[in-house]
Amino acid sequence: MMNKKNLEIYVHVPFCVRKCAYCDFLSFPGNRQMQREYTEKLIEEIQCQSAKVREYQVISVFIGGGTPSILNIEDMSAVFHALTNGFEILPDAEITMEVNPGTVTAESLSCYREAGVNRISMGLQSADDKELGYLGRIHTYDEFLKSYQRVRMAGFDNVNVDLISAIPGQTVESWKNTLKKVTMLKPEHISAYSLIVEEGTPYYDRYGEPVEVENHTVTQEKVHGLKSLPDLPDLPDEDAERDMYYLTRDFLKEQGYERYEISNYSKKGYECRHNIGYWTGTEYLGLGLGASSYLSGCRFHNTSVYKEYCSARLDREEVFQEVLRQEFERLTLEEKMEEYMFLGLRLTQGVSAQGFVSSFGHNIRSIYGPVLDAMEKDGLMEQNDGYYRLTSRGTDISNYVMSQFFV
């Protein structure tokens, strides 16, 4: 029996109740008919794609979006059934389902458990209702608590909570209050990101530079459900943002959460295996609208055009290639080494010198020696036990450090 290669699977469900004001993900509201149409095409894609990766075994599955939990139970069960039948999913695979407060019931959570889901990722963002309103979230903190309780009662013992700092009107004290409230619930994992104002969002209209968008076929009012943004307060200043950043690191450590990646913290043994796979070069297959893949040293993505995706005849090879292999790119050795470095440096463990040799057949210092020496001299990196990693100061300016590793 041949040794199969490891594969991660990401499944994209683009629908949400209402698009948040800061969100630039590929997501939008969708009615029941659209959800049914999309589910049928997603299952068709699963069947087509799985036939092309028979040499792989699946070590993790991540159902993301959008808000996957707004799909009804029948559709979600059908997707899980197709995945199980199509792929060789290992018995101990990590299977994560993203949910938003107010979109889960005892019945739907039971469905996820029966389908093999063993990790839930919940989008809270803030424990302050006013701040949630500024973000355009559809839930209150109390509604989050009720959903969180349902998740625990359904038997899930591996739960992540997503948080965002440096949002409009937020203070260091209100951010600390959010951290306190969340850690009191004792989730196994916390993802804490700092807000990024992205182009094409209502937030960019309020906080970013003016931008002209041509051929607008869908208005922000339709997509985001916002006729106009509320009278939003200013974003926290740079000093407050930095204080929040350090508070996150120090407070979560005090509460028993180890930082294993720049924005991710967990109790021991509960690191997100799926995301670690991304950062360490594990191959992955993206399923669904706009989903990205990395297979056999090649990068590509599915079409992001809804009608093109849902109407495609995927049983025709030329259509399959055209719709599901867009921007197909074979990475060079140099590009693979670059990615190994700047993705691996996101992890607090750092990058393995031995792993570099195993992956590329070159000693890491023969390629990056001068850069590593310069970063160590400046106190931005350090070497320990065969790993090169960012120092605390290097982590603070990680984007700069990572940019130094482009060959």
pTM for this structure? 0.92
In the numeric block, which tokens belong to residue 383? 């070497």
Question: Contact at 8 Å (CB) between 297 and 284?
Answer: no
Position of tokens 């209209």?
A: 205
Q: Alpha-carbon dihedral of residues 63, 64, 70, 76, nearest 10 degrees?
A: -20
Q: What's the pLDDT at 204?
A: 82
CA distances from 58 to 41, 51, 281 (A): 21, 13, 15
CA 192 to chain centre: 12
Structural domains of the chain, with CATH? 5-280 (3.20.20.70), 333-403 (1.10.10.10)
Return the number of other C-beta atoms located less than 10 Å from residue 58's C-beta. Answer: 23
Question: Contact at 8 Å (CB) between 176 and 251?
Answer: yes
Name which of 36, 40, 17 is nearest 27 in CA terms: 17
In the numeric block, which tokens belong to residue 376? 């160590």
pLDDT (tens digit per residue) in 185-204: 999 999 999 998 888 888 88
At 300, give phi and psi (nearest 5°): -160, 170
Question: Contact at 8 Å (CB) between 306 and 289?
Answer: yes
Q: What's the pLDDT at 219?
A: 36
Q: What's the pLDDT at 407?
A: 62
pLDDT (tens digit per residue) in 118-164: 999 999 999 999 999 999 999 999 999 999 999 999 999 999 999 99
In the numeric block, which tokens belong to residue 162? 């997503």
Question: Contact at 8 Å (CB) between 130 and 169?
Answer: yes
Question: Contact at 8 Å (CB) between 111 and 73?
Answer: yes
Single-letter residue type at 232 = L
pLDDT mean for each 10 residues of the chain (407 residues): 89 93 88 97 98 97 96 97 98 97 96 97 97 93 97 98 96 98 98 90 75 35 46 90 96 98 97 96 97 97 98 96 97 96 96 95 96 97 96 93 88
What is the C-alpha separation between 126 and 175, in angstroms, rounded? 8
Name which of 328, 324, 291, 283 is nearest 48 in CA terms: 324
